[in-house]
Amino acid sequence: MADDLYATPEHALFRETVRKFTEEELRPRAREFDRMGRIDKQLFERMGDLGMLGLRYDPAYGGAGLDWSFTAVMYEELGRSDNAGVTMGISVHTDMATPSLAQFGSEALKQQYLVPAIAGDMVSAIAVTEPDAGSDVAGIRTRAVRDGDEWVINGSKIYITNAATADWLCLLAVTDPDAGYGGFSQIIVETDTPGFRYQLLDKIGHWGSDTGQLFFEDVRVPLANTIGEVGRGFQQQMMQFQDERLVACVSTIAASQELWRETRRWAEQRVLFGRPLSKMQNTQFVMVELWTQLAAARELIRACVAERVAGADATEKISMAKLFCCRVSRQVADACIQLHGGYGYMKESAAGRAFVDSRLGSIGGGSDETMLHYLAKQLGF
């Protein structure tokens, strides 16, 4: 693995841009974003201007044509936004809802939806999970039925990030219930289409993002809005999940490192029994354990990024990373809240927020058990 995977002068320059954006435009507004309860659409316009929304996409559509190592740099910095919900809303747009369109979409679809997504003029969401099917993706029931040159869509999706903000959805729907894994399609649905509505959900964490339930009642979209081939949606979505999971690993570990540093500062200042908390051996051992876990997580992420940069299928490593990194981030949050004592339990404390925010990692985008199930099969069990 090349030592300079993310450390060329180009990476350093790009890191500086994202860091400045994070420090000046995200962190100072972090609690304001929580109160808003939805992501500020203007952030996307700003990020579009900064060239941050299409890092790996073709310059012909406004992308930067860079490899995965730049995505890693971006989310190492955005993970420090002090608002996991905002980071999540951004990553849904850049790496969860748009990869299939960029890879499989027709020229017309890319012009209509990818170009404005990269520019920050349109925001996207990924709509897979349903009230009766999450981990079991093949169990979804939202149905798209062909009528002439249109799809007529009926059904419901739940826990969808950017529900209130998105201009379009990358929707996974059943297009042929008798075709097994060949019976799903990815379809772009504009959120101002008649018959579509959403309802926001009240979450225990990730307050800065808008998560909602989506309803489709005879929603008509052109057949031409199908991403790639009709019937290939399940396979395309499984590929799209790989970017989603790796971005989640990078940003969650970056957030955990930030929390670790904040906890160290706290422990150095907090005095009890006549000495700083940081001078107690238990504190030092806990912090060292966490730092070691974080270092291991970073190395695993790095191995995944190296595979992506080399164009290899990184599914197995990404599944391990998703499992490991999300667990490490929960462990860090739990230990850091403990070291903060009562203050850690306050909503205003970073440790308290991380405790609920980090909990999502092991559930969303493929739960721990989904990763374990896949890896058990890979290991021949």
Residues at the interface with ligand FAD (CB under 6 A): 92, 125-129, 134-135, 159-161, 203, 206, 211, 360, 363-365, 367, 369-370, 373
Q: Which of 219, 222, 226 shows the shortest CA–CA distance to 149?
A: 222
Amino acid residing at 309: V
Q: Which residues pair with 188 in a beta bridge?
A: 170
Residues in the chain: 381
Q: Which is closer to ligand FAD, CB of 273 or CB of 381?
A: 381
Q: Which is closer to ligand FAD, CB of 120 or CB of 208?
A: 208
**Residue 292, Cβ neighbours under 10 Å: how many?**
11
Cβ at position 253, least distance to ligand FAD in Å: 19
d(CA 114, CA 122): 9
Q: Which is closer to ligand FAD, CB of 140 or CB of 339?
A: 140
3-state secondary structure of 92: helix
Cβ at position 213, least distance to ligand FAD in Å: 11
By the 8 A CB rule, do 245 and 365 touch? yes
3-state secondary structure of 65: coil
What phi-psi label fits residue 24: left (phi over 0), alpha (psi between -120 and 50 degrees) or beta? alpha
Cβ at position 222, least distance to ligand FAD in Å: 23
Those residues whose C-beta lies under 8 Å from the C-beta of residue 168, and which sit 6 or more positions away, are 113, 122, 124, 125, 188, 189, 190, 191
Q: What positions carry a catalytic annotation?
A: 244
Q: Which is closer to ligand FAD, CB of 191 or CB of 263?
A: 191
Cβ at position 147, least distance to ligand FAD in Å: 25
Cβ at position 162, least distance to ligand FAD in Å: 7
* Residue whose Cβ sits closest to ligand FAD: 134
Burial class (CB within 10 angstroms; exposed 0-12, middle 13-18, buried 19+) of 149: exposed
By the 8 A CB rule, do 68 and 309 touch? yes
Q: Which is closer to ligand FAD, CB of 303 or CB of 363?
A: 363
